[in-house]
Structure 1
Amino acid sequence: MSRRDSRMMLYLGGVASVAWCMVYMAQVHTTMLAPAPLAGAMHLAAAPSDADRVEALLKSMTLAQKVGQMTQIDIGDILYGKSREPALAINRAKVAVYAKLGIGSYFNSPFDANSSPHGRVGWSASEWRVVLNTIAAIYKEHSAVPFIYGIDTTHGANYVRNATLFPQPLALASTFNVDLAYAMGRIEAKDSLAAGIPWIFSPVLGIAMQPKWSRVYETMGEDPHVVSTLGVAVIRGIQSSNASAACMKHFIGYSNPTSGNDRADSIITDFDLVNYYAPPFLAAVRDGNVLSAMETYTSVNGDPVVQSTKLLQGLLRNDMAFDGLLVSDDDEIHRLVAEHHVAATELEALQMVMDHTSLDMNMVSKKHRATSLLLKLVNASTIPEARLDSSVRRILTLKQRLGLLDAPPSTHENLVATVGSDEDRALAATAADESVVLLLNKPVEPVDAVNPKMVLPIQNPNAKIFVTGPLADNKAYLCGGWTVYWQGTDDSDAIPYGRTIKEAVAARFPNVVYAEGVPVLDTDVDANAGPPGSVHAMSAPQAANHSAALALAAAADYTIVVVGEAPYAEKSGDLDDLTLPSGQLEYIAALSRVTTTNVIVVVITGRPRLLGHSLRHVHGVLVSFLPCAGGGDAIAKVIAGDVNPSGRLPLTYPATTGHALPYFHRANVACTEGFKECPVQWPFGAGLSYTTFKYDNLTLSAWRVDKVTGRLRVDVSVTNVGTRAGKEVVLLFLSQKVRRFAVPEAKLLKRFTKIELAPSASTTVSFELSFDDWSFALPQIGHGLNRTAEDGLFHLMIKHDTTCGGAKKNPLCAHFHLV
């Protein structure tokens, strides 16, 4: 959802709608992966007395009040400005007008730009409460139905000052830790409730199929099962208090823009929609009891989702049986005119949405004509009042469940003191620790032929360490967008706690020096410098910094160079090429050329940015997908060996922009002559440890399984044969040898779990598979997501790098037959 300041206001008119997305997939089971127990999941069925109360209130409302309930307005429309005193910022007269109109919801943060006046960095929970309580009091004066406030909360209550900041969702997915996903949902909802905000626009349940996309870091990776499992955990965490509502988004297909640019059209077959994109949303509905959903900006196969009967009615409401509140993304009804070009006027666009879908709430930046246009259509009898009643009933039901219709409404003032607590930040720090992925670890140079030691962890406490790179000394760069401001910030001090990577490394090693070396972007380019025809030339100040940094590297035992991306959100993050900026890559290459030091590259990024040929000359690579406030210490702890890395890639890390495919691509996809597998830099699930885990004794309970009623138990032994404790992510994939309905996937993840073993310890990991795991959904949207399975051979693989069917037998590959 776009959170724009006055300079980036895209549209001055619009109609907003309520659209969220849920998709069902029977193959998603989380019982093996969920914390025991994930208590407090909210049930959708309201008590009869609650339903009666909602019906009585609905019958008492005028048409205008019903239309108002279906409208959600940006808080910026009722503020004079970002005043030092929150209460003085409220335009009380305008709020009174909106109260009389019955406006049902507000959203957003007034501090969504990337700067704030008066040195203020957002509102604290107490300041938020002043604002929202003032609005509530005005509503009460006019006997209006209480409003519900919604906000984007991607990795903690990122718009509440001093709240605990978790890693971004992609980094959270790298942990493969369901308990941490639940904790993030619980804490971000708690801190938001402390601010008076009960509606959480989270989680993002799109699967990251286009690595160039600027919202990859908001997803939980490319795998449908991982996104389903972690998404359900986040939802259960958010809704655990029965006072907050999660909002799954963005329904559906947004995460695969054809061009890679944000909001571009998605071209997706129905088979892929129901088998890959829908499962996380379906799991959210069936296993997470999610209370609301948001539709997406984009069109799928040329069909704008906000007005799509097929997707919002057929898939979401019918196939998934979602009966919660559906809200549009920002100004999306207006975009039917301005961007999608399927309607000539906003009146026509609104008519389309009301006729074709069951969208409940229209999210708009400002009221403008949103309410008057809808009221005009109802008064003209082109939209029946019963259509309004269906949506308003869902809106009131959500408010009732959250205690917002009580007198007085629930305020949760007791939670203010818990915002940013030590306990909460410790959990976020653990998530950051487990998000770090070690992808390359070569022997220390010069190599000891008898007893080689890996470059990581750095075991010499007195080693001379040079820390450098554009992201080494800035906490804000560890967090990315949706942090304090919509676009994030480059102000390290805006992040209320934590340390930079440089500071955290220096806290653990006494002999640390630092120089930036190169800027994050190739901005210091002097067109008149360098030889004729040169592509990249540094200005004098940058060249001096660069030369001084190389001299420091030459004198060091280890060089830690931290590269990556500056913060961004949505369209501002569009890319043509996944390769890191040339200045950063040239700097890594220069460090490798001028010194024999051991070069360790740390990549802080919101998507898989490519290192190219610079990888040839470095000794270690760590990747973390925006670990945020705890990230500096998390990286330093892994470098020092205080934490054994346990992060694993939740998506494929491509070798080139052109060959960017998910690991579960079709089995007939080939990129080179001879039909060889497409080359990748690192595969899904990759990640190294400082210890070694041995897998053996893979056994299946049967070799022939009834395809409908059968169940298959899988056991595998895992032993820590190294010298230190470690955590391991155990992955189970299936691959269908022949599928007649559609080309099968190369393989597809069906189960995962994370275990921790002491040195020499061993455990047996057990999984159970059934019909949902070897069947597939028929591409019949609107007809119930029926599933079927075919007779035949299946390969079962343990670990991300296991292959089956070759000349050499693999002990981690087994097979069974469906009959």
Structure 2
Amino acid sequence: MKDDFPQRLLRVSAASLLVLAALAGCDSRAPSTTDSTTTVSADTVTTQATEKVEWPVLNSAIKKDPAVEARVDDLLARMTLEEKIGQLVQPEIRHVTPEDIKQYHVGSVLNGGGSTPGANKYASLEDWVKLADSFYYASVDKSDGRIGIPVIWGTDAVHGLGNVIGATLFPHNIGLGATNNPELLKQIGWATAREIAATGLDWDFSPTVAVARDDRWGRTYESWSEDPQIVHAFAGKMVEGLQGTGGSDRLFTHEHVIATAKHFIGDGGTLNGVDRGETQGDEKVLRDIHGAGYFSAIESGVQVVMASFTSWEGTRMHGHKYLLTDVLKDRMGFDGLVVGDWSGHSFIPGCTALNCPQSLMAGLDIYMVPEPDWKELYKNLLAQAKTGELPMARVDDAVRRILRVKIRAGLFEKGAPSTRPLAGKKDVLGAPEHREVARQAVRESLVLLKNKNNLLPLARQQTVLVTGDGADNIGKQSGGWSVSWQGTGNTNADFPGATSIYAGINAVVEQAGGKTLLSDDGSFSEKPDVAIVVFGEDPYAEMQGDVGNMAYKPRDTSDWELLKKLRSQGIPVVSLFISGRPLWVNREINASDAFVAVWLPGTEGQGIADVIFRNAQGEINYDVKGRLSFSWPKRPEQTPLNRGDANYDPLFPYGYGLSYGDKDTLGDNLSEEGIQLAEALDVLDLFNRRPIEPWQLEIIGYQNDRVPMASSTVTASSLKIQAVDRNEQEDARRVQWNGSGPGQVALSVGDRQDFIGYVKSDSALVFDIKVNAAPTVTTYLRLGCGSYCASDIDLTEKLKGFAGQDWQTVTVPLHCYPNSGANFGVTQPPEEFWTQVLQPFSLLTSGTLDVTFAQVRVVKGAGKDVACP
């Protein structure tokens, strides 16, 4: 084991030493005179709440230019109030047209995760450029005396250009944090910027510079580390890669785009890791832990900072004047623009998505407003500016910042997107040189946690069994923000040019004269010399990735059983674990001879084979370089878990990682007792902002057309389902039946589940529902266990009673379900029925019906003394 990870992380510049001095609690105005390796750990942030906190004064690599400022002054003097307000509003491409851009003087647009031109998942580069052109030409139209300010389009390219088919997808940040290679981040930023430029876009909502402190957070994988030191080292380099180097001729060339440091501030430090929650800690914690990435990003010249959904000390960040204005802009000297996040301003008390002057007054410069009726926000802002509720000084300051960024980025000179050097260039998207950078990142991100008897690296000339549900699954290895927002609903065909983990292994083994066997379930006809099992978390993104504890699939033992089965046959087992966070996998580690955390490697699976196999001469091809940038839990409930904590007791500490040849004393006897805690949870979530593993959503039409919900909207013959917002983005599902015949929506699973324990615990099925239009014929709530095994409860009158009302919570005791064969003329013993549950929640009708549901769960004890529907 190598234990010098923190000490060898980086060499910092003299300017950065000022910032790191602030992180260590020193006066930022007393610079060190030495240029040396500097270590800052999470254990330096304890303080008394009354201590005065000095935020650092930062110097951006992009200096104020009098010529730019004069140009801004000239534009501001000639702009009408309507033109100024238009610069403050950022609609989503699904709800804005070129005519809207012109009429409302819109200054920027965005595409959300999975949003594409024409709502076409397979939109071509030409489609992206064509739409960008249409927005651009509308924005620069100078008819009727308009100034004609170029529009700017932002996109979430958080690990490569995830919304575009064929792009290079790099390892997510959690893997990059393990590489110990800040310079690699600069290369990744450069490659990402080039591929964004190929679409004609100008702006990346990246990098995420969160310091994730509770791994239950669903965005943990978007963080480089639990420790601010790594985040500080990487953030500035990523900004340089995306934008170019400030003060040089490599700034904002045709190969560069505008970068965004997000989410300001404290998004990785919320209570219990709940997305959009309350950030924990006093102001010194906020500065020393969560400020680290912003310090180096601002020094490197980042032009945009995105506000966080989170709150601190009871105030939402989109309305936090002290942090957005006093700290970020005034004290730290950030002179770029502050953009909101997906209607984040609507979370401010007294605000709605379409009316929130408080946010602009707090320091927000651009409202991200993805609602279809975004024009109402424009009208409200305009009226508030006319009455003086919004002072012109604040409006002008916001517009000044927006214009400054656009001028610095060269948007007034670049011309239409289609005229730019990289626009529409298919050879740029997924270019070999980009994929090589990604492949290097994969190699350097792998962390070897166990290597019994030095099993790894493997000889190439062997018969190798490759199995597990992640073996030949590029979507799973890429994770969230990959083609779709949550990374779900994709197949390998959606990643042209990419290499699955299996394909990488197969190329190495076959070239050397060995043999690979690909098997879904671990079966084989020829006994292999070694088995490589690829398994782990399924894709997820923000909100939908939040979990309650760190146990890996506590109720699903299929991966563990597969590992044990192979080992029982005398086959050495190598586990490649895909995950967006460290998880409690003691059972799986015990059942493995070698265990490698591969994180979310992205599209270049070949990088894994590069490391786990020897070269043609039988020597180490690439050593394992990755070291944990997150502490690995010893127990499922062990969170938060961070280096420097009191009573710090991880299974694998921050900085851990084996190299080839290191002695591994781990053994096969890690405690497995923690699983009882995870399995004893009182609530079994079936749908919580997304279907919870192993449950999947599907609809079934009258033509027996069964359609899994693989995208945000899917349609069958008699109904359709779409992801909609209730409290958060896409946290609910709306289902509409068209009356053409029987239609069913169901949460389903492939293998029958045993619910006896829930039945005996007075459990109930509990779900939230909003009836948009009442049922026209009988509607059933169904619990099914197969084609001829179902139990229905008539829900018609209850749903009619809910019509026109707000959200309602329905509680159905499990004992209320009638004999399972009622609809099919068969009977089944009650206990046998409850051991074969395939569809614990489904709605079925043949008429018209329009409902939205959320939060489907089975709750122990909730059915006691509750009347049946």
Normalised to the residue count of structure 1, the TM-score between the two structures is 0.68
1:196-225 alpha-carbon deviations (Å, 9 max, x no partner):
212111111110111111111111111101
The letter for the 2-side match of 1:649 is L
Q: What's the CA shift string for 1:21-75, capped at 9, x where partnerless?
A: xx965457997789xxxxxx98433432221111111111111111110111111
Alignment of 1:242 with 2:251, yes or no, is yes
Aligned to 1:374: 381
Contact 2:113 2:156 in 1 (8 A): no
Distance in 1 between residues matched to 2:557 and 2:226, nearest whole Å: 29
Where does 1:253-272 land on structure 2 (aligned, <5 Å)? 253-272=266-285
For 1:595, the aligned partner's letter is Q
Q: Does the 8 A contact of 2:631 with 2:643 survive in 1?
A: no
Structure 2 CA distance, aligned partners of 1:31 and 1:482? Answer: 38
Among 500, 523, 532, which residue is 1:560 paired with?
A: 532
Residue in 1 that maps onto 2:296: 283
Identity of matched residues, %: 28
Q: State the match for 1:591 in structure 2.
A: 565
Higher relative contact order (CA 8 A, sep 6+): 1
Shift of 1:465: 2.1
What pairs with 1:307-706 in structure 2 (closer than 5 Å)? Answer: 307-336=319-348, 342-343=349-350, 350-355=356-361, 357-366=362-371, 367-406=374-413, 408=415, 411-414=419-422, 416=425, 417-443=427-453, 454-459=454-459, 461-489=460-488, 490-509=490-509, 510-517=514-521, 549=522, 555-581=527-553, 582-588=556-562, 590-591=564-565, 594-635=568-609, 637-640=611-614, 641-666=620-645, 669-670=646-647, 677-678=648-649, 680-691=650-661
Provide closer, same or farther for how the CA distance between residues 691 and 107 of structure 1 changes in structure 2, counting only shifts above 3 A.
same
Pair 110,122 (structure 1): closer, same or farther in 2 beyond 3 Å: farther
Aligned match of 1:756: none
Counterpart position of 1:69:
87
Whole-Å Cα distance in 1 between the matches of residues 194 and 608 of structure 2?
Answer: 24
3-state SS, counterpart of residue 533 of structure 2: strand
State the partner residue of 2:67.
Answer: 49
Native 8 Å contact 1:24 1:281 kept in 2? no
Cα-to-partner distance string for 1:287-318 (whole Å, 9 max, x where unaligned): x1211100101112321111012221232123
Letter in 2 for 1:361: I
Which of 259, 262, 265 in structure 2 is aligned with 1:252?
A: 265
Closer, same or farther in 2 for the Cα pair 1:372/1:333, shift >3 Å?
Answer: same
Structure 1 residues 199 and 24, CA, compared in 2 at 3 Å: closer, same or farther? farther
State the distance in 2 between where 1:33 and 1:426 align: 29
Which of 173, 187, 192 in structure 1 is aligned with 2:191?
187
**Aligned residue runs from structure 1 range 144-223, under 5 A:** 144-223=148-227
The 1:282/1:628 distance shift into structure 2, 3 A limit, reads same
Classify the secondary structure of the residue corresponding to 1:440: strand
Q: Is the 8 A contact 1:475 1:492 kept in 2?
A: yes
- Aligned to 1:175, the other structure's residue is in SS state coil
Shift in CA distance, 42/566, structure 1 to aligned 2, threshold 3 Å? same
Q: Which residue of 1 aligns with 2:844?
A: none
| Equivalent position SS for 1:369 | helix
The answer (yes or no) to whether the contact 2:508–2:609 under 8 Å persists in 1 is no
C-alpha distance in structure 1 between counterparts of 2:353 and 2:446, whole Å: 47
**Pairwise CA distance, 1:691:** 4.7
The code of the aligned residue for 1:564 comes to G
Paired with 2:109 and 2:280, the residues of 1 have a C-alpha distance of 33
Following the alignment from structure 2 to structure 1, what is the Cα–Cα distance between the partners of residues 540 and 118? 17
Q: List per-residue Cα deviations over 1:413-439 (Å, max 9, x = no partner).
A: 346343322222111111111111111
SS of structure 1 residue aligned to 2:410: coil
Residue 451 of structure 2 aligns with an amino acid whose one-letter code is: N
- Tell me the amino acid that sits aligned with residue 315 of structure 1: V
CA spacing shift, 1:179–1:32, aligned 2, 3 Å: farther
Q: Check the 8 A contact 2:68/2:407 in 1, yes or no.
A: yes
Q: What is aligned with 2:107? A: 104
Tell me by how many angstroms 1:161 deviates.
3.4
- Secondary structure of 1:187's match? helix
Measured in 2, the distance between the counterparts of 1:352 and 1:76 equals: 27
Distance between the aligned counterparts of 1:394 and 1:438, measured in 2? 46
Take 2:515 and 2:340, find their aligned partners in 1: how far apart are those partners?
54
Matches of 1:628 and 1:663 in 2, distance apart?
26
Q: Distance in 1 between matches of 2:303 and 2:491?
A: 36
What is the CA-CA distance between 1:575 and the residue it aligns to?
A: 1.4
Does the C-alpha gap of structure 1 residues 386 and 24 become closer, same or farther in structure 2, counting only changes over 3 Å?
farther
Kindly report the root-mean-square deviation, in angstroms, between the aligned alpha carbons of the 2 structures.
2.7
Letter in 2 for 1:164: T
Letter in 1 for 2:85: V
Distance 2:124 2:353 in 1: 35
Secondary structure at the residue paired with 1:514?
strand
Alpha-carbon distance in structure 1 between the residues aligned to 2:37 and 2:602: 25
CA offset at residue 591 of structure 1?
2.3
Contact 1:68 1:101 (8 Å CA) reproduced:
yes
Is this contact kept in 2: 1:472–1:562, CA < 8 A?
Answer: yes
How far, CA to CA, are the matches of 2:523 and 2:503 in structure 1? 20
CA distance in 1, matches of 2:504, 2:296: 39
Aligned-pair CA distance for 1:682: 1.3
1:155–1:166 Cα contact (<8 Å) kept:
yes
| Residues in 2 aligned to 1:465 and 1:109: alpha-carbon distance in whole angstroms | 41
Q: Secondary structure at the match of 1:630?
A: coil
Aligned residue runs from structure 1 range 122-133, under 5 A: 122-124=123-125, 126-133=126-133
Alignment gaps of 5+ in structure 2:
1-17, 24-31, 39-58, 245-249, 615-619, 664-869
CA distance in 1 between partners of 2:391 and 2:119 (Å):
47
Over 3 Å counting, the alpha-carbon distance change for 1:252 and 1:242 in structure 2 is same
> For structure 1, which runs of at least 5 residues remain unmatched after alignment?
1-22, 35-40, 79-93, 337-341, 444-453, 518-548, 671-676, 694-819
Aligned to 2:412, what secondary structure does the other structure show? coil
Structure 1 residues 495 and 42: CA distance shift in structure 2, 3 A: farther
1:362 deviates by: 0.4
CA distance in 1, matches of 2:399, 2:119: 38
Quote the Cα distance in structure 2 between the aligned partners of 1:194 and 1:160.
11
Question: C-alpha separation between the residues in 2 aligned to 1:508 and 1:97?
Answer: 54
The answer to whether the 8 A contact 1:592-1:618 is kept is: no
Residues matched between the structures, number: 587
Deviation at 1:585, TM superposition (A): 4.4
Tell me: CA distance 1:297–1:407, structure 2 relative to 1, closer, same or farther (3 Å): closer
Q: Give the 3-state SS of the residue equivalent to 1:373 in structure 2.
A: helix
Structure 2: distance between partners of 1:156 and 1:613: 34
The letter for the 2-side match of 1:464 is: T
For the 8 Å contact 1:440–1:620, the answer to whether it is kept is yes
Q: Distance in 2 between matches of 1:248 and 1:68?
A: 23
2-structure distance, mates of 1:661, 1:298: 18
